[in-house]
Amino acid sequence: MTGEDHPGAEPAATHWLAVADEVARTLAGDAVEREQANEHPLREVALLRDAGLLALLVPAEAGGAGHQWPLAHQVLRRIAAADASVGHLLGYHWFQLWRTRLFDRPDLTARLERNTAEDRLFWAGVSNPRDAALALTPTGRGWRVTGRKSFATGASVADRLVVSGTEDTSGRKLTFVTDAADPGIHYLGDWDNLGQRLSASGGVEFRDVLVHPDDVLGAQPEEDGGAAHRQSLAPWDSSCCSASSTSASPTAP
């Protein structure tokens, strides 16, 4: 595939759009059969990993591709057109890694981005804001996490998780990162939604999972206190959407 297939795109962007089109063609070939089989999307995540897409938004200085959201949206549209579940997985992966930047832990974010690029990590979130059933109990050396969360897209096939819960002694909403393979984390396999089966969006149960302070991103702002943070994203969101809408429309694979 050449730049003629993606008119107006920069050379680096042309490469990633070509990668997205190739992934989309692979997914489209058996999308219906895979949806009906309803297996864990391990092969689909491996396809994204082998294509190099997991580090698309990781800064170049951290070993990633160093691109921005407008290109990511173009890539995502192409892949989601072929398989909505896989588009869901990839979008949530990028989002969960990006949201670590919303906390005042640049050291932790830098480490996570480097690890993502080096080890080709796939991220997911256990942070449904409508579900506050995850409790963090202080232990003196960190926290012990227990409880369940629903709608955790991609968690059962992830390498790392961004998790939100409530500290039971203070009521603070804390967000932390953890290894998805921790033996205290159990995936419930209770997701079977038509058209999105392979998004692996089932529930997760935590049984005495230990969290070290170094892995805590921070406390979420109070309901009113978060307004300034959300408003600060508005100019970015506007320019991003504008850039995406003016790009060439994706073609079906």
CA distances from 128 to 90, 96, 233 (A): 17, 12, 20
3-state secondary structure of 203: coil
Q: How many CA atoms lie less than 13 Å away from 110 in the CB half-sphere?
A: 5
Alpha helices by DSSP H, listed for the chain, are 11-28, 31-37, 42-50, 69-82, 84-99, 106-119, 227-232, 234-245
Instruction: Quickly state the pLDDT bin for 9 (edges 50, 70, 90).
Output: low
Token readout for 36 is: 């009906």
User: What whole-number distance in Å separates Cα of residue 74 and Cα of residue 164?
Assistant: 29
Task: Give the DSSP letter of residue 140.
Answer: S
- Going by their DSSP bridges, the two strands 216-219 and 134-138 should be labelled as unpaired
Q: Is the pLDDT of residue 215 over 50?
A: yes
Interval 23-41 mean pLDDT: 90
CB count within 10 Å of CB 235 equals 9
CB 97 within 8 A of CB 62: no
CATH of domain 123-222: 2.40.110.10
- The domain ranges of the chain are 8-121+234-245, 123-222
The residue whose two tokens read 């991103």 is 217
Between 116 and 154, the more confident residue is 116
Whole-model pTM: value is 0.84
User: What whole-number distance in Å separates Cα of residue 218 and Cα of residue 206?
Assistant: 19
- Average pLDDT of the chain is 85
Distance of CA 93 to the CA centre of its chain: 2
Integer-rounded Cα Rg, in Å, for the chain is 19
- Going by their DSSP bridges, the two strands 216-219 and 123-126 should be labelled as unpaired
CATH topology of domain 8-121+234-245: Butyryl-Coa Dehydrogenase, subunit A; domain 1 (1.10.540)
Give the pLDDT of residue 249.
39
38: left (phi over 0), alpha (psi -120 to 50) or beta: left
